Amino acid sequence: GNSVTQMEGPVTLSEEAFLTINCTYTATGYPSLFWYVQYPGEGLQLLLKATKADDKGSNKGFEATYRKETTSFHLEKGSVQVSDSAVYFCALRAAGNKLTFGGGTRVLVKP
Amino acid sequence: DAGVIQSPRHEVTEMGQEVTLRCKPISGHDYLFWYRQTMMRGLELLIYFNNNVPIDDSGMPEDRFSAKMPNASFSTLKIQPSEPRDSAVYFCASSFSSGRSTGELFFGEGSRLTVL
């Protein structure tokens, strides 16, 4: 079946540091890939997405590139802010239409 | 456009009571998903519907849980009888099929359930 593996947190960073959250997946066919973000006390919001190999999704300074050869979709941001403190979820949606999530990575940015 | 609307936002009940959570998906979406989130188990898919028909309920923990979608604009998740281990945040999400869009799900703000 489909699965998503992402690095466990928590990840603690100082403001303006570089952030990388690794995500790899296993899927049949050609899934769409997503990063969702969950701020404290809120629901999940779509952060960015990519639908085919070599696509780069970007939003709010975050980027992730769909790498089919390594089955990865790593999330990066060059300079984090305190407001980026949240839980980040990598996910895929394949032909079965079910969204499969990774376990989530908690990120804490300190001033 | 209104997003996915869930009610109640918070529910506190006693063990043994019936709990009903409600969801109104985004108009036009043909998929609806119920998820549960806890610290211990993370985000779990309970059940999902396509065109009001349940497609996969393998994530429903036990017979105490049931979900219905009587029409395209309303779904319920019922727990009867409730137990303390059911305490969690329950999220509803809706989407178009992955064939009609890039496939992202839109989530409601969640219903936080506490069973005493």
pLDDT at B68 over 70: yes
- B104 contacts A104? CB cut-off 8 A: no
Chain B contact set for A103 (CB, 8 A): 42
Task: Please give, rounded to a whole number of angstroms, the shortest distance from the CA of A57 to a CA of chain B.
Answer: 12
Q: Which of A51, A89, A94 sits opposite B102 (nearest CB)?
A: A51
**Of B110, B42, B112, which is closest to residue A9 (Cα–Cα)?**
B42
Residue range A12-69, pLDDT digits in tens:
999 999 999 999 999 988 899 999 999 988 889 999 999 989 999 999 999 999 999 9
- pLDDT bracket for residue A95 (50, 70, 90): confident
- pLDDT bracket for residue A1 (50, 70, 90): confident
Opening angle at CA B75, ends B73 and B78, nearest 5: 165
Opening angle at CA A51, ends A45 and A52, nearest 5: 150
What average pLDDT does this structure show over B90-113? 86
**Of A63, A51, A3, which is closest to residue B98 (Cα–Cα)?**
A51
Chain A / chain B CB contacts < 8 angstroms:
56
| For testing contact with chain A, the best of B39, B94, B107, B112 (most A CBs within 10 A) | B107
Residue range B34-50, pLDDT digits in tens:
999 998 888 999 999 99
Whether A104 and chain B come into contact, CB under 8 Å, resolves to: yes
Sign of CA dihedral B34, B40, B41, B42: positive
